[in-house]
Amino acid sequence: MNQLSEKKSQFVIVVSGPTGVGKTNTAIQIARHFQAEIISADSRQFFKEIPIGTAAPTQEELQAVPHHFVGNLSITDYYNAYMFQKEVLEILPSLFKKNKYVVLCGGSGMYIDAVCNGIDDIPDIDPELRTSVITQYKNEGLESLRNTLKKLDPDYYAEVDLKNPARLMRAIEVCIQTGKPFSSIRKQAYAPRDFSCIHIALSLPREELYTRINARVENMMEQGLEEEARSVFPYKEHTALKTVGYKELFAYFNKEYSKDFAIEKIKQHSRHYAKRQISWLKRNNEYTWFHPEDYTEIFNHIKEQ
């Protein structure tokens, strides 16, 4: 449902896009123009120990505009999209008292969707069940996951990205764990909001985006990404660190990769991640696409809602 069809007086301006496109800078420009505050919807920037590898806003950027949910957790903390939704909904009323606009900035689609539409408190998956589903994928492949999901939840099978094993495995886990179709749990989650979401996606030509991603990785290394990764290496099994930038350097620390190879892999995996983010965003027709520096067009689009 397009929430903009319901006229409301409070707006969450969603600023999303692929990694490296310039979301933070654009969000700050929007927030300054509308005198709004920013909520981070980047699920990796929540963790205070890893600001370099997650491209967290700098101190200068944090001082330019008030930010929320940046460096508020430790890598050892358990956190999920439901918890994020709950905490964001708790602080939004106080932010809306100051301004009718709040900026929600990040590339974590599930976390954005949780705030705009709602998400159910899905129970933790039994580790043995998770292992069995992963084993099924490794041994039998993607087609096996598709067939399983089709039997367990034909409705979700009809809409899910059938090329995304992570989403297929997640749905299968929830179906088996709860005994209910994943689609029914998701439908229960959608809740009415007393605000409208204005969805803005940022885009650059592919070669320009990839060049920026490669340069950003080099810049992260210059800023001390290797040292940051070494500092959290003892916690490598935590979910927060099973992500691009850290897993490649951990392989280097374990002598599986050379340093140069690890850096090239970070660039490659970051480009792949950006491609997946773009695909995810393009499946959501609520987004309007802009160049990250088309500030006048973006401002006018927001005012027209």
In a domain, 90, yes or no: yes
The string of pLDDT tens digits covering residues 279-305 is 889 988 899 999 999 999 999 999 999
The residue count of the chain comes to 305
Structural domain count, the chain: 3
In a domain, 52, yes or no: yes
Statement to judge: residues 242 and 100 lie in one domain: no
In a domain, 234, yes or no: yes
Lowest mean pLDDT: which of 66-70, 96-100, 191-195, 246-250?
A: 191-195
The string of pLDDT tens digits covering residues 117-127 is 887 777 677 87
In a domain, 292, yes or no: yes
pTM of the model: 0.81
In a domain, 63, yes or no: yes
Statement to judge: residues 96 and 135 lie in one domain: no
If DSSP codes are grouped into helix, strand and coil, which group holds residue 76?
A: coil
Statement to judge: residues 198 and 55 lie in one domain: yes
User: Which domain does 68 fall in, by range?
Assistant: 8-121+194-205+285-304
Helices assigned H by DSSP within the chain = 23-34, 59-64, 81-98, 109-117, 127-140, 142-152, 154-159, 165-178, 182-189, 206-223, 225-232, 247-253, 259-282, 295-304
